[in-house]
């Protein structure tokens, strides 16, 4: 018996209904903020991802050559393809551009609890708004999406400006090494690294910075720094909206293309793998042939959302089962079509079985049963049974939709 590929999952109807419900809640919130949904191809040129993240990412992707010898990759995340699409299709649109997406993504890594080779990401990108207000909107949108999904979470908001100010005199490669060690919280290696660069005094400043919980404390560590006013303005907007968050100036995000604001969110009930969202401000468009364009955005691990929030209470419309004898078959299909045109969920018997067997099956799946036999065909009526109460009545066709809503 063939099995599904390693690191993938099957979703049965009950789980799919729950996922679709949460998807729609999140889409509605994004729409209220003015974000429009977009979609990119499942596979892209491999170069799209190596330009953004380096050749090292190839080992983490599903890559292949097509029959024309082109090197392609299944998308490992959403942002690169969205910015490629912006450069190709939308760079002349009025700014800012507000886009959102729900994509299935692929990573070639060892599957483990909460991490799959095929996974889903809900993301948003704000393109062309180089302002504190834009940074704040993205964070407020992220908060709204997670609340709509029913996740219990905490947000940590940071900004790279003070850290970059401390590291100003380091070369680019040394900065990357230092930030990578900060991201992993490898303090012994960090201290050794700074000693190697000839800047051991930066260790105390960096460790003091990541302990700061207010912008005033950050000023005491760094003094005035470029980007301070924008950071203060952004935090002022978040505070004015009574957003629940904590300031974390130690967020590095692990990716060196972030330019300013960064933030992360953590679900309360996912254990060690509890990060559910991450994002920040960045500039990527120029890598794909466009002009240097300020952007900010985030990605939400949709699968982790579903695990974190647990069972979704679904509000289903009643299901009507159409039962019939051989004489009533054609009329049964007419009645089913009429109910569906009225927006009523309706299933009809498709197997060669008696009315008793049809009723037994209907009692397991539906709320109402509509019986159509020879007598009902001749009288132009149906027999309607409430499967919960057992009540049964003869019903005119015109009255049927109102009886089952």
Going by C-beta distance under 8 Å and a sequence separation of 6 or more, which residues neighbour residue 147?
none
Nearest residue to 119 (alpha-carbon basis) of 130, 131, 103, 135: 103
Q: What percent of the chain has pLDDT over 70?
A: 99
Condensed to tens digits (0 to 9), the pLDDT of residues 276-334 reads 999 999 999 998 999 999 999 999 999 999 999 888 878 888 999 999 999 999 999 99
Mean pLDDT of the chain: 92
Give the residue ranges of the annotated binding site: 77-79, 107, 121, 125, 253, 257-258
Q: Would you say 153 and 268 are in contact if contact means Cβ atoms under 8 Å apart?
A: yes
* DSSP structural state of residue 324: E
| Geometric angle at alpha carbon 173, from 81 and 223, rounded to 5° | 100
pTM: 0.91
Going by C-beta distance under 8 Å and a sequence separation of 6 or more, which residues neighbour residue 277?
142, 146, 153, 263, 264, 265, 298, 299, 300, 301
Distance from chain centroid for Cα 379: 54
Model pLDDT, residue 34: 97
Domain extent listing, the chain: 13-160+252-309, 319-404
Residue 233 has pLDDT above 70, yes or no: yes
Least confident of 34-48, 128-142, 144-158, 173-187: 173-187
Going by C-beta distance under 8 Å and a sequence separation of 6 or more, which residues neighbour residue 250?
158, 182, 209, 210
Annotate 387-396 with b (16+ C-beta within 10 A) or e (fewer).
Answer: beeeeeeebe
E strand map for 93-139 = 97-106, 118-127
| Other Cβ atoms within 10 Å of 260 Cβ, number | 22
Nearest residue to 162 (alpha-carbon basis) of 226, 208, 255: 226
Summarize the confidence of residues 232-249 as an average pLDDT.
96
| Other Cβ atoms within 10 Å of 397 Cβ, number | 16
What kind of architecture, by CATH, is found in domain 13-160+252-309?
2-Layer Sandwich (3.30)
Element (H, E) at 236: helix 228-240
Give the residue ranges of the annotated binding site for L-histidine: 77-79, 107, 121, 125, 253, 257-258
Assigned CATH class of 319-404: alpha beta
Condensed to tens digits (0 to 9), the pLDDT of residues 334-392 reads 999 999 999 999 999 999 999 999 999 999 999 999 999 999 999 999 999 999 999 99
Contacts 24+ apart (CB under 8 A), 51-59: 51/80, 51/287, 51/288, 52/79, 52/80, 52/257, 52/284, 52/287, 53/80, 53/255, 59/108
Torsion of CA 195, 197, 198, 204, to 10 degrees: -50
Model pLDDT, residue 254: 56
Please state the φ and ψ torsions of residue 207, each to the nearest 5 degrees.
-65, -30
Summarize the confidence of residues 163-175 as an average pLDDT.
87
Model pLDDT, residue 56: 79
Both tokens of residue 115?
A: 């991490």
């Amino acid at each position: 018996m063939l099995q599904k590929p390693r690191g993938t999952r099957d979703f049965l109807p009950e789980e799919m209904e729950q996922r679709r419900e949460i998807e729609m809640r999140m889409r509605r919130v994004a729409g209220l903020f003015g974000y429009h949904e977009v979609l990119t191809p499942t596979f892209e040129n491999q170069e799209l991802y190596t330009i953004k993240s380096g050749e090292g990412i190839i080992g983490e992707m599903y890559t292949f050559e097509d029959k024309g010898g082109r090197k392609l990759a299944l998308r490992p995340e959403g942002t690169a393809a969205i910015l490629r699409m912006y450069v190709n299709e939308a760079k002349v649109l009025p700014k800012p551009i507000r886009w959102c997406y729900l994509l299935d993504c692929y990573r070639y890594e060892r599957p483990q609890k909460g991490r799959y080779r095929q996974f889903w990401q809900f993301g948003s990108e704000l393109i062309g708004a180089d302002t504190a207000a834009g940074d704040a909107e993205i964070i407020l949108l992220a908060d709204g999406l997670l609340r709509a999904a029913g996740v219990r979470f905490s947000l940590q908001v940071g900004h790279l400006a003070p850290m970059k100010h401390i590291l100003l005199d380091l070369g680019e490669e040394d900065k990357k090494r230092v930030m990578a060690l900060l991201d992993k919280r490898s303090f012994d290696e960090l201290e050794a690294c700074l000693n190697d660069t000839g800047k051991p005094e930066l260790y105390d400043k960096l460790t003091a910075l990541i302990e700061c919980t207010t912008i005033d404390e950050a000023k005491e560590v760094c003094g005035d720094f470029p980007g301070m006013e924008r950071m203060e303005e952004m935090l002022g907007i978040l505070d004015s909206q009574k957003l629940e968050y904590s300031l974390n100036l130690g967020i590095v995000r692990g990716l060196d293309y972030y330019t300013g604001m960064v933030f992360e969110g953590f679900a309360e009930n996912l254990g060690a793998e509890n990060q559910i969202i991450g994002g920040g401000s960045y500039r990527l468009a120029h890598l794909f042939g466009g002009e240097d364009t300020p952007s900010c955005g985030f990605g939400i691990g949709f699968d982790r959302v579903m695990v974190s929030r647990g069972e979704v209470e679904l509000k289903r419309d009643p299901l009507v089962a159409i039962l019939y004898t051989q004489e009533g078959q054609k009329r049964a299909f007419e009645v089913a079509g009429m109910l569906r045109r009225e927006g009523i969920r309706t299933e009809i018997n498709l197997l060669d079985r008696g009315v008793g067997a049809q009723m037994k099956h209907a009692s397991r799946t539906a709320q109402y049963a509509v019986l159509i036999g020879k007598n009902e065909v001749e009288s132009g009526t149906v027999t309607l049974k409430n499967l919960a109460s057992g009540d049964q009545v003869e019903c005119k066709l015109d009255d049927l939709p109102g009886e089952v809503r």
